[in-house]
Amino acid sequence: MRCRYIDARSDEDDADRPLQQQSPNNFHDRQHLYQHQHPAQSCSSRGSSNNNAENFGVSRQNLVSSIPTLDYDSMTDVVIDDIADEPTSAILDYCKRKFLRPYVQILGLVGIRPMSVDTTAFQAFISHLQTVIIFTLLCIGYFLQYFASFRRDRGFNHSRGIEKTVTIERSGYKEAYDCGELLFVYIIPATLHVCGFMSAVWVFRMADNEQLQNLVERVFLMSNAPRKLCIALWMFVLGGSVWIGFLCAYVVLLSNAQSNQMNIQWYENPNTTVQAVVKVSLISTIFVHDLVQMIILISYCIECYLLKLHLYNLKDKLIQHTIETLDWMREVLEFRKLLSHLNQKVATPICFFTVLNLCYAFAGLIYLFRNYDFQGPVKIFSLSIANLMMWLILGLAPFFAAASVTRACKVTQASGHQIRVRPFVYHNTPSEDLDSTLMFASSLNMSAKLYRMPIFISYLCFSILIVSLVILTLGMCMNVSLGFI
């Protein structure tokens, strides 16, 4: 709000004004002074002045009533102007420019860009075309992995070259092994991956696609530091980009290290050109696979982070009494709708991807302790360990994100007890309102869910403990030794 101060003119400046604009008191004094200095003219004009006395009195009263009353004690008059700039609109504009619009463009890279109300027919056509292109690239990538005998859990499958020397007596075993490998290594993982992608298209494009924008705007409006919040959100995207970089580097290094183990289907002795084309195409399609999965998983983690911040902001406002208890209850009910959208819709593609990633991690772990040649090069062993850790991190990241939301829900559930024992903040609030808020907060039973199950941090820690014990036990029982070349 902007104030402008106007100084009132003193009576000394009144003499410089025209006679009609002078104040009433000065005008009356000057009239008497003029009659004293010019008695003849005043006598001649006294008759006319007596006739106009009543008219002058009326005009004088009108003049007095028309002049605004000034505060002569402060000698100032305050004029208040409204400011056109609105903080809410500025924050929303910053949110859209710095995060929402660029993030929607990133979603469009993998064909899951949300459809807003003002989307034109041409933009909708381009979005659907991007989805079809990404789906085609995914299918080509699945075929190339089988064509080049490449497995995401261990690299190139060199056992196919050994199987060519299998005798006729064991041909039945070879056919059974090939069918099992085709089903569990290529068909089922490809089905899980494409189901995760198609369910993500359905969630982001058709099922309440404005929920993400609503959540982001709410958190930005309630945040005390929008700039730090924007940086924190982009750190998730940066972390996903680093993961893609490491995984692509792993594929490139592994393809160079195992170039002699690359077996192409239906080619007995492929030449160098065919191998180079297949290798480049394989790396490109694997990059598309990882990009799709990374963006969908990062989107889930971002929504979990925003929900956690939103709930902590509501809890702080309630404890500090910067929000009324009834308004706080309404905000919590709106939060429950956003959490339900996360559990029932956004978590659907995440379930497909976490199963796939954890299967890759455990399959790679079993391969290291069972079939891996530890007398081989350390470089291959290091790449296998790095690949296992990347799949494990990617598989556990959504669980930790969901567990953080569940933790925030439990903290909010105890906020009713905190305001009940704060006499200085809520000393003017009736006890009935505090009791109703306490009962409402205690009845909240909210949690983030994956596979329709609540995710708690204690369960995750226990699972990690079991996995660590299994790995250490296998390492102690197996005679692991590394050869250096």
**450 sits in which H/E element:** strand 449-450
Residue 299 lies in a domain: yes
Q: What confidence tens digit (pLDDT) does each residue in 81-125 have?
A: 343 446 888 888 999 999 999 999 999 899 898 877 677 888 888
Q: What is the mean pLDDT of residues 445-455?
A: 93
pTM of the predicted structure, to 2 decimals: 0.76
**Closest by Cα among 357, 369, 379, 409 to 484:** 379
Which has more confidence, 71 or 369? 369
Residue 18 lies in a domain: no
At residue 69, the 3 state secondary structure works out as: coil
- pLDDT band, residue 480 (cuts 50/70/90): low
* Per-position b or e across 320-347, b if 16+ CB within 10 A of its CB: ebebebeebbebbeebeebbebbbebbb
**253 sits in which H/E element:** helix 226-257
Residue 190 lies in a domain: yes
151-165, 263-277, 296-310 — which is least confidently predicted? 151-165
Q: Which range marks the domain in which residue 119 is found?
A: 87-477
Q: Name residues whose C-beta falls within 8 Å of residue 271's C-beta, 6 or more positions apart in sequence.
A: none
Are the C-beta atoms of 155 and 258 separated by less than 8 Å?
A: yes
Give me the amino acid identity at 250. Y
Q: How many domains does the chain divide into?
A: 1
Q: What confidence tens digit (pLDDT) does each residue in 224-260 have?
A: 888 999 999 999 999 999 999 998 888 888 888 776 6
Q: Is the pLDDT of residue 68 over 60?
A: no
Residue 27 lies in a domain: no
Percent of the chain with pLDDT over 90: 34
Assigned token pair, 35: 């009659």
What pLDDT score does 338 carry? 92
Mean pLDDT of the chain: 77
Q: What confidence tens digit (pLDDT) does each residue in 310-328 have?
A: 999 999 999 888 888 899 9
What pLDDT score does 293 carry? 94
Q: Is the pLDDT of residue 357 over 90?
A: yes
Residue 20 lies in a domain: no
Residue 384 lies in a domain: yes
Residue 233 lies in a domain: yes
Give me the amino acid identity at 279. K
Q: What is the mean pLDDT of residues 365-376?
A: 70
Residue 55 lies in a domain: no
Q: What is the mean pLDDT of residues 359-378?
A: 75
Q: Is the pLDDT of residue 348 over 90?
A: yes
Helices (H), 345-420: 347-370, 378-413, 415-420
